[in-house]
Structure 1
């Protein structure tokens, strides 16, 4: 039986990123200056980041037999991620159309394809038998139910981490209660936290407290170019971002997740894990796309003194 440090469970998409002179609003026009195709999906980006850091990783998801599905499988395998948990079917693989402006800000349009057609009985429970962390990210549609089903059946020894993204956050705490009740670590951003908690609380600290009350052990609130807030109820920290030139914010949150979970798996405390998360995110945004800038473990070693852990 294979042993994994982290298995990701989420959507697999081919990201088609267009560089534009500006992100348009209704009835506006802009023009394309460049184009980049890469493989993505939030959970996939995170496990690739962990694989580059020497972790043993696997993935649960779904692709079709089309060209994009082949690209997605080959990309994970190339990055050292086990793909035996991925279901291959007829249909259309997932795509994301992205538009990135000169400041690195972005607008994304998701075409989920077969990502949203995962049934609970298609997921092999024994794939997770020797897994330390199961990392969940959002689906647009019905595959959410497969996640709910699987986490109700896996061993209590498996730590569950969740990046809800905007899609799950907008559904709110009540909709997500079955997943949240089994989640140990939630990795969200400030805007998502507002949606998740119904925008009832004056500060993100208050929202984080609400999540801690729902049995979650660690709450991470990613705040872009502002300090990241991390709390476990007993200790709370603000972790300052690294000052680097931003080329593209695509995948920055997923990169943070990789760094944080790497620290957690290596017995770092939440402050140290947060610093690792911000460092990996800073590497990501210096390059275009979600995984091009992710560092290998050998590169991370060089920066131990810089990140002060």
Structure 2
């Protein structure tokens, strides 16, 4: 039985390093190009596998070279891929522009992620987990499939809505938020989702039913709220190259600590440490090998 199964979009990230992200009409030289597997929940699951957690994934890729590469890559990382379906069509693609400060802009083509549905096979994979870790799809029909899977599972829920789902509002996400053991958001996302500052937003999410709310604050570290207790933890030192996937990396570290029974402040410090490894390399998944063997408990 896997400890954590992820459910979310699977993309091939094409990463372009540039001096700066241009405005409309500008022409700017690309300094370097790389590509790797991506998708928020997938990044977190790969990181958890690197940290020694038993993991699986539920999602969909296309019948193309990108899809084959994503599926085989996750399998090499130690993730159970039986819940990843191969569908006719194009695998999702994310075009990621990263400037010299490590800031980024992302353009997304969902591909077959938009056709994700609950099946007997992926439901069986999801029902085998202790924890389900969810991130966003671009399509509301795929969100509906996530909700259907959750309604048939007794697993604890970890939820990283991201910008896409945060923009849908709490009413649309209530079935997930009200059951969540932990919700991960950054400062901007919680502002969009809750319409308030992160402290008040976290309090409201607790009242909705989310047991633990974690807000990542970039260089400001993280803020955790649970049961009326508030914890602020400073960021770990890092030489920032690329912030892509930092939140996903944080989630991996935090969940690894939570699964080990660590107290919330320790979980936050582990999350910060893993996120620091992430931002010191280019790409959302480049850090996963670096955390192998990292002491959690």
TM-score when normalising by structure 1: 0.92
Select 2:137's aligned residue among 136, 139, 146: 139
1:235: Cα distance to partner? 1.8
For residues 74-132 of structure 1, the C-alpha deviation after alignment (integer angstroms, 9 at most, x for no partner) is 11011110100011110000000010001111000010000110122365322233311
Any conservation in 2 of the 1:138–1:164 contact (CA below 8 Å)? yes
CA offset at residue 31 of structure 1?
Answer: 1.5
Mapped partners of 2:119, 2:75: distance in 1: 24
- The equivalent residue for 2:280 is 286
State yes or no: 1:66 paired with 2:60.
no
Contact kept in structure 1, 2:221 and 2:236, CA below 8 Å: no
2:48 is aligned to: 50
**Structure 1 residues 248-267: aligned runs within 5 Å:** 248-267=242-261
Gaps of at least 5 residues in structure 1 are none
Count residues with an aligned counterpart: 295
User: Would you say 1:181 and 2:181 are equivalent positions?
Assistant: no
Q: How does 1:71-82 map to 2 (within 5 A)?
A: 71-82=69-80
2:127/2:152 contact within 8 Å kept: no
Which residue, 236, 240, 249 being the options, matches 1:246?
240
**Aligned counterparts, 1:108-119, within 5 A:** 108-119=106-117
3-state SS, counterpart of residue 287 of structure 1: coil
Matched, 1:167 2:164: yes
Partners of 2:23 and 2:121 in 1: how far apart? 40
For 1:4 and 1:186, how far apart are their aligned partners in 2? 20
Supply the distance in 1 between the matched residues of 2:126 and 2:71 (Cα, whole angstroms): 19
Out of 61, 84, 87, the position equivalent to 1:89 is: 87
Deviations 1:139-187 (A, max 9, x none): 00021110011111112xx110000000000111011112212222100
* Preserved contact between residue 5 and residue 56 of structure 1 (Cα < 8 Å): yes
Alpha-carbon distance in structure 2 between the residues aligned to 1:84 and 1:53: 21
Once residues 22 and 192 of structure 1 are traced to their aligned partners in structure 2, the CA distance between those partners, rounded to angstroms, is 24
Partner of residue 14 from structure 1, selected from 3, 12, 15: 12
* Pairs within 5 Å for 1:214-253: 214-253=208-247
RMSD: 1.3
The CA deviation at 1:26 is 2.5
Question: Do residues 41 (structure 1) and 36 (structure 2) align?
Answer: no
Q: CA deviation at 1:236?
A: 1.2
Whether the 8 Å CA contact 1:132–1:159 is kept in 2: the answer is yes
Work out whether residues 59 and 86 of structure 1, in 8 Å CA contact, stay in contact via their aligned partners in 2.
yes
* Matched residue SS, 2:67: helix
User: Residues 126 and 149 of structure 2 are in contact (CA less than 8 Å); yes or no, is this contact kept in structure 1?
Assistant: no
Tell me if the contact between 1:151 and 1:182 (Cα under 8 Å) persists in the aligned partners: no
| TM-score after normalising by structure 2 | 0.96
Are the counterparts in 1 of residues 55 and 78 from structure 2 also a CA contact under 8 Å?
yes
Does structure 1 conserve the Cα–Cα contact (< 8 Å) formed by 2:156 and 2:180? yes
1:296 maps to 2:291: yes
Rate the CA distance shift 1:45–1:162 in 2: closer, same or farther, 3 A.
same
| Contact 1:5-1:55 within 8 A present in 2 as well | yes
